[in-house]
Amino acid sequence: MQRHRNRHPSPGARRRVLRTLSAVALAAVAMPAVVVRAQPAVPPPTPSQTEGPFYPRTMPADRDADLTRVVGRNAAAQGTRLYFTGRVLARDGRPQAGATVELWQCDAFGRYHHAGDDGEPRDDNFQGYGATTADAEGRYAFKTIRPVAYGGRPPHLHLKVRAAGSRVLTTQVYIKGDSTDGDQVLAWSPKGTLERLTMTLAPVPGREAGALAGTFEVVLP
């Protein structure tokens, strides 16, 4: 009769297996855990809108980021103060340091300056146009007035944004809560445009009486 071989591992083999398993377990403990952090979602590019007939024909001598004061004039602009800030981002979410942001709008009487929009009344203490450069985090800031309605158009700000490696974006920014009924610019815009171009205003404690603040993030095309 043929003897059956002993199928049980020897004590030495068992010790080698245990040593291997222990080494694997220790390596797993020592290995740092890989944490996968979800990247914040970046919205699609900001919708463009018409430049309109009111972009300056000639640039004013005073075109800084404070539109409520004009160099050489003692009085300040009429209208509710608005601190308008935001960021400029690339399509992948990277801040666009050095981007140029231009802002223009009508004065408290609905007149655009430096654009041939003459007539009375008119607030010559309002700068009408300003420009600034985004900082290292892509942030920009303006001091202006809350936009007003004129000629059947709802209150809005005009923006033109330029950054290296991106197309120039020209658009308009609207105010949440303001009526836009009957506006032809928005009527011809793709569905969802208004929601993407609307900002909310809130009071600013410690500033001028009634001052407001609004933030608008620009994603370049």
Residue 168 inside a domain? The answer is yes
Which CATH number characterizes residue 146's domain?
2.60.130.10
Structure tokens at 156: 């809005």
Distances (CA, A) of 97 to 67, 77, 137, 192: 22, 30, 6, 28
pLDDT over 90, % of the chain? 78
Residue 29 pLDDT level (bands cut at 50, 70, 90): very low
Residue 16 inside a domain? The answer is no
Residue 204 inside a domain? The answer is yes
Residue 3 scores a pLDDT above 60: no
Residue 53 inside a domain? The answer is no
Number of folded domains that form the chain: 1
Residue 20 inside a domain? The answer is no
Residue 111 scores a pLDDT above 80: yes
Q: For strands 169-175 and 156-162, give the pairing.
A: antiparallel
Domain that holds residue 184: 81-219
pLDDT at 25: 47
pTM, to two decimals: 0.81
Cα separation of 26 and 29, whole Å?
5
pLDDT at 14: 56
Residue 67 inside a domain? The answer is no
Concatenating the DSSP letter of every residue in 89-151 gives E-TTS-B-TT-EEEEE---TTSPPTTTT---SS--TT---EEEEE--TTSEEEEEEE----BT
Residue 127 scores a pLDDT above 50: yes
pLDDT at 28: 44
Residue 52 inside a domain? The answer is no
Q: What pLDDT digit, counting tens, does each position of 178-202 carry?
A: 999 999 999 999 999 999 999 999 9
Neighbour-count burial of 2, counting CB atoms closer than 10 A to its CB (0-12 exposed, 13-18 middle, 19+ buried): exposed
For 91-103, what is the mean pLDDT?
A: 97
pLDDT at 180: 97
pLDDT over 70, % of the chain? 82
Residue 2 scores a pLDDT above 70: no
Residue 192 inside a domain? The answer is yes
Q: What pLDDT digit, counting tens, does each position of 35-75 carry?
A: 555 556 778 999 999 998 999 999 999 999 999 999 999 99
